[in-house]
């Protein structure tokens, strides 16, 4: 027992040797931030139109694409709230009801309504959110910490002044979302104007109204020296978008172009002062309605100011991707610029210029690729899962009722195990069309099946070979920037935003299952057991590091599943049994692993921490409640996925098929596993890994299903081989 603990301790200490870097702070005196909101436009709008001031910011600053997710649907109230809280948040049905304190609302002053709802007496000149109570209630239900009004509150606490100007009102609706970014906990923005006073009648503009830029400029100019954060909602582009169902297409194009030109001219007036202490940001909270209907949920973002290298792609430590950031990164950027500590519950990270030169055409291509992946990822995966289910069911049926035809199922079973590698390599080719994607996957799969059939004369070693190739490809990709993982159908989706880097649950399962498959079967293939055992232990350590290390992106659930699966395999390969004593040792090792992971990542700079380091800091600052919320979220996600996910169906199918084959044909599977010790170890260790992935991961059903992608079909394949061999002997 003591020696076992010694090995576990050495394993964990070796893993803990991870380097971290410091992050320098800068002087924050006399700094200002100006945010221009140009809503409902696209990157292509900036490229196609004559917008000298916006293009000047692009050339002299950093730019890229921004995701527009929230804690609910992609609605304006949710997305603006998310920007203002730095984490996924919700608005409310009336979140846009922001009024100047002196405005009349239903025959009463907004200040009276606000005081009636909140019990707080506002000051003259404040901008007031009349539905702050419901906004708070909505976010209290969240399974993570959300504090509406966070940005405004923290700035006010540190003595900084905030103003919001502009709106997106139509002739029928009050649409004033920008204050949701700058308000404090009470729903108040200290300065600015979002009233109808900053609009003017213009009969040929959408809804007959437009921003009065002269009025906005004069109001801003009168108080600009006292302001630190100024948010301009240049709402004419939003009005042009909202009006498109009423006008001809050519009129809609003209309206958007005019709104963009006016916004560009206004930006030029503001930035011509060229204050070296001012950070300028141009953001688009939501794409146009048309683009959203086409699943393009990425918008342009530009940042220009002190310390921003000219003409570079923007990035953040939230995504760790060149040219792609999230809407949660705006708040940390503003706070960091003013030298204010970012709360540990904030999900986003500071925006900064990458070292990569910007290229608008390349950025368009990135947008096209990400949108394509988001649109067609699910259909491709559903097709793959459906084929898995059909092949597994057909295999079991032929084995039980049509034994002589079961041999024809072997290539199809192997097809199931080859597809993850084909999906992984597909991004090496141009695949922004369904036809080219389908052709690419089938071509790669056919090549691998043909090549491996030629390499190995023993059919059940096919799985070890493809598992080895897939594992090596994954590790090389993770060492070289994860280009394949970032763009594969079977990997994570940037636009959905659940994960942006590291290894996702799909390929985490593939990696663990593949590693177990080729390492354990190598014992069956070769007789030099001791050297193979040492090499296998080393491989497990490497794979575990790539899954769990903070500097590799830390998949905590994956790390736990890998630790459990690999520990089980090592135990069985060493000739020992998985008894209660050994099981307790593994569980203790898992708990020690979790604590070490949390602690190591918490020591890294906040900007470099993964979610586990942030969770550790949350626990330190807010107690165990955030941890319980995380567990609740993971449990809820697992239950949801098990009920609705395509992966739960293939997992259930595989369990049923293997259960049936254990009894029919009688004794074949049982005898095979008894006679093939290392296949049994592979099978049992994979089952253990799948169980731990299912329990400790928020989408564990996905990882559990993909972990079985080699072992499941391989076992069925082996049974077919055994029956074929028995028939040959009888013949």
**pLDDT average, residue stretch 300-319:** 96
Residue 214 has pLDDT above 70, yes or no: yes
Residue 249: pLDDT band (50, 70, 90) is very high
**Would you state the pLDDT for residue 454?**
83
**pLDDT average, residue stretch 334-345:** 94
Do 341 and 382 belong to one domain?
no
Residue 23 has pLDDT above 50, yes or no: no
Comparing 25-39, 261-275, 498-512, the range with the smallest average pLDDT is: 25-39
| Within-domain flag for 106 | no
510 close to 702: Cβ distance less than 8 angstroms:
no
Over residues 171-184, the pLDDT tens digits come to 999 999 999 999 99
Q: What angle do CA 397, 399, 402 make, to 5 degrees?
A: 75
Do 342 and 434 belong to one domain?
no
**pLDDT average, residue stretch 546-565:** 84
Residue 624 has pLDDT above 80, yes or no: no
86 close to 115: Cβ distance less than 8 angstroms:
no
Residue 525: pLDDT band (50, 70, 90) is confident
| Within-domain flag for 423 | yes
Do 55 and 174 belong to one domain?
yes
Do 321 and 244 belong to one domain?
yes
Which of 358, 393, 427 lies at the terminal end of a domain, its last residue?
A: 358
Do 493 and 418 belong to one domain?
yes
Tell me which residue has tokens 């086409």: 294
601/417: higher pLDDT: 417
Ordered alpha helix ranges (H), 456-573: 462-479, 483-487, 505-525, 529-548, 556-573
d(CA 426, CA 339): 44
Percent of the chain with pLDDT over 90: 70
For 281, the token pair is 């940001």
**Would you state the pLDDT for residue 457?**
66
**Would you state the pLDDT for residue 19?**
34
Question: Which residues are within 8 A (CB) of 640 and not within 5 positions of it... i.e. 6 or more apart?
Answer: none
Q: Please, is 619 exposed, middle or buried when counting C-beta atoms within 10 Å of its C-beta (0-12, 13-18, 19+)? A: middle
Which of 299, 333, 358 lies at the terminal end of a domain, its last residue?
A: 358
For 107, the token pair is 């025959």
Ordered alpha helix ranges (H), 604-710: 611-622, 625-644, 646-663, 668-675, 677-696, 700-707
| Within-domain flag for 412 | yes
Closest to 486 measured CA to CA, from 471, 507, 470, 500: 500
Do 293 and 423 belong to one domain?
no
Closest to 181 measured CA to CA, from 213, 157, 159, 154: 154
Question: What is the domain count for the chain?
Answer: 2
Question: CA end-to-end span of the chain, whole Å?
Answer: 52
Q: What angle do CA 116, 120, 123 make, to 5 degrees?
A: 110
638/396: higher pLDDT: 396
| Within-domain flag for 603 | no
Which of 358, 390, 424 lies at the terminal end of a domain, its last residue?
A: 358
Question: Which residues are within 8 A (CB) of 581 and not within 5 positions of it... i.e. 6 or more apart?
Answer: 1
Q: Please, is 363 exposed, middle or buried when counting C-beta atoms within 10 Å of its C-beta (0-12, 13-18, 19+)? A: buried
**pLDDT average, residue stretch 686-693:** 94
Residue 301: strand pairing partners: 64, 283
Do 168 and 282 belong to one domain?
yes
Residue 51 has pLDDT above 60, yes or no: yes
Residue 611: pLDDT band (50, 70, 90) is low
| CATH code for the domain in which residue 239 is found | 3.40.720.10
**pLDDT average, residue stretch 706-726:** 87
* Distances in whole angstroms, Cα of residue 721 to Cα of each of 488, 515, 666, 727: 33, 23, 15, 10
Question: Which residues are within 8 A (CB) of 140 and not within 5 positions of it... i.e. 6 or more apart?
Answer: none
| Within-domain flag for 621 | no
Do 482 and 512 belong to one domain?
yes
548 close to 554: Cβ distance less than 8 angstroms:
yes
Comparing 200-204, 229-233, 546-550, the range with the smallest average pLDDT is: 546-550
Question: Which residues are within 8 A (CB) of 111 and not within 5 positions of it... i.e. 6 or more apart?
Answer: 101, 102, 121, 122, 124, 126, 128
**pLDDT average, residue stretch 618-623:** 64
Do 582 and 461 belong to one domain?
yes
* Distances in whole angstroms, Cα of residue 647 to Cα of each of 69, 406, 442, 640: 24, 25, 21, 12
Residue 22: pLDDT band (50, 70, 90) is very low
Do 437 and 561 belong to one domain?
yes
Over residues 498-514, the pLDDT tens digits come to 888 889 999 999 999 99
Q: Please, what sign has the CA dihedral across residues 52, 56, 57, 59?
A: positive
The pTM assigned to this predicted structure is: 0.89
Residue 405: pLDDT band (50, 70, 90) is confident
| Within-domain flag for 44 | yes
197 close to 99: Cβ distance less than 8 angstroms:
no
Do 337 and 386 belong to one domain?
no
Q: Please, what sign has the CA dihedral across residues 282, 288, 293, 294?
A: negative
Domain region containing 219: 32-89+147-358
Comparing 225-239, 443-457, 576-590, the range with the smallest average pLDDT is: 576-590
695/121: higher pLDDT: 121
570 close to 562: Cβ distance less than 8 angstroms:
no
| Within-domain flag for 158 | yes
Residue 661: pLDDT band (50, 70, 90) is confident
Residue 316: strand pairing partners: 351
**Would you state the pLDDT for residue 551?**
74
DSSP single-letter state for residue 666: T
Do 348 and 482 belong to one domain?
no
| Within-domain flag for 201 | yes
323/407: higher pLDDT: 323
Radius of gyration of the chain (CA): 29
**pLDDT average, residue stretch 25-37:** 76
């Amino acid at each position: 027992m003591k020696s076992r603990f010694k090995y576990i301790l050495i394993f964990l200490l070796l893993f803990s040797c991870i380097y971290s870097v410091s992050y320098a702070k800068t002087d924050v005196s006399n700094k200002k931030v100006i945010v221009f909101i140009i809503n409902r436009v696209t990157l292509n709008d900036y490229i196609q139109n004559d917008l000298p001031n916006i293009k000047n910011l692009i050339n002299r600053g950093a730019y890229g694409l921004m995701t527009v997710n929230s804690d609910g649907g992609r609605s304006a109230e949710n997305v603006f709230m998310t920007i203002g809280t730095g984490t996924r948040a919700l608005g409310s049905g009336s979140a846009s009801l922001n009024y100047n304190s002196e405005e009349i609302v239903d025959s009463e002053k907004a200040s009276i309504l606000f005081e009636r709802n909140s019990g707080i007496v506002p000051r003259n000149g404040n901008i007031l959110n009349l539905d702050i109570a419901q906004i708070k209630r909505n976010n209290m239900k969240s399974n993570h910490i959300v504090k509406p009004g966070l940005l405004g509150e923290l700035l006010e606490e540190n003595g900084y002044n905030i103003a919001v100007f502009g709106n997106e009102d139509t002739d029928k609706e009050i649409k004033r979302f920008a204050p949701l970014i700058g308000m404090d906990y009470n729903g108040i923005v200290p300065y600015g104007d979002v009233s109808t006073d900053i609009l003017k009648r213009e009969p040929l503009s959408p809804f007959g109204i437009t921003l009065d830029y002269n009025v906005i400029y004069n109001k801003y100019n009168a108080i600009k020296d006292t302001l630190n954060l100024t948010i301009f909602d240049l709402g004419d582009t939003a009005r042009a978008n909202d009006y498109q169902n009423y006008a001809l297409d050519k009129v809609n194009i003209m309206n958007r172009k005019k709104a963009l030109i006016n916004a560009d001219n206004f930006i030029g007036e503001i930035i011509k002062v060229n204050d070296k202490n001012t950070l300028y940001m141009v953001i688009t909270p939501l794409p146009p309605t048309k683009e959203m209907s086409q699943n393009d949920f990425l918008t342009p973002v530009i940042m220009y100011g002190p310390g921003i290298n000219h003409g570079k792609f923007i990035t953040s430590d939230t995504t760790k991707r060149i040219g792609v950031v999230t809407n949660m990164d705006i708040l940390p950027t503003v706070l960091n610029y003013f030298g204010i500590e970012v709360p540990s519950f904030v999900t986003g990270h500071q925006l900064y210029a990458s070292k990569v030169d910007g290229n608008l055409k390349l950025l368009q291509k990135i947008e096209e690729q990400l949108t394509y992946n988001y649109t067609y990822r699910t259909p491709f995966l559903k097709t793959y899962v459906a084929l898995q289910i059909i092949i597994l069911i057909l295999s079991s049926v032929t084995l039980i009722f049509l034994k002589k035809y079961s041999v024809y199922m072997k290539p199809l079973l192997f097809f199931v195990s080859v597809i993850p590698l084909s999906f992984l390599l597909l991004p090496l080719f141009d695949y922004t069309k369904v036809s080219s994607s389908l052709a690419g996957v089938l071509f790669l799969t056919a090549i691998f099946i043909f090549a491996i059939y030629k390499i190995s004369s023993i059919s059940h070693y096919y799985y070890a070979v493809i598992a080895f190739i897939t594992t090596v490809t994954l590790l090389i990709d993770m060492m070289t920037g994860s280009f394949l993982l970032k763009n594969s159908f079977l990997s994570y989706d940037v636009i959905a935003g659940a994960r942006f880097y590291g290894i996702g649950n799909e390929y985490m399962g593939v990696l663990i299952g593949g590693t177990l498959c080729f390492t354990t079967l190598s014992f069956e293939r070769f007789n030099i057991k001791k050297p193979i055992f040492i090499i296998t232990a080393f491989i497990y350590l490497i794979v575990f590091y790539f899954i769990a290390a903070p500097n590799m992106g830390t998949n905590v659930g994956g790390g736990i599943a890998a630790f459990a699966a690999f520990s089980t395999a090592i135990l069985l390969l060493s000739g020992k049994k998985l008894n209660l004593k050994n099981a307790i040792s593994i569980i203790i090792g898992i708990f020690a692993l979790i604590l070490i992971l949390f602690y190591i990542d918490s020591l890294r700079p906040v900007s470099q921490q993964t979610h586990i380091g942030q969770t550790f800091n949350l626990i330190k600052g807010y107690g165990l409640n955030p941890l319980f919320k995380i567990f609740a979220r993971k449990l809820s996600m697992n239950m949801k996925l098990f009920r609705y996910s395509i992966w739960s169906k293939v997992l259930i199918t595989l369990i049923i098929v293997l259960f049936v084959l254990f009894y029919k044909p009688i004794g074949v599977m049982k005898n095979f596993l008894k006679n093939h010790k290392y296949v049994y170890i592979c099978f049992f260790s994979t089952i253990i890994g799948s169980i731990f992935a299912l329990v400790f991961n928020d989408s564990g059903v996905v990882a559990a299903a993909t972990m079985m992608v080699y072992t499941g079909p391989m076992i069925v394949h082996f049974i077919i081989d055994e029956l074929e061999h028995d028939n040959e002997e009888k013949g």
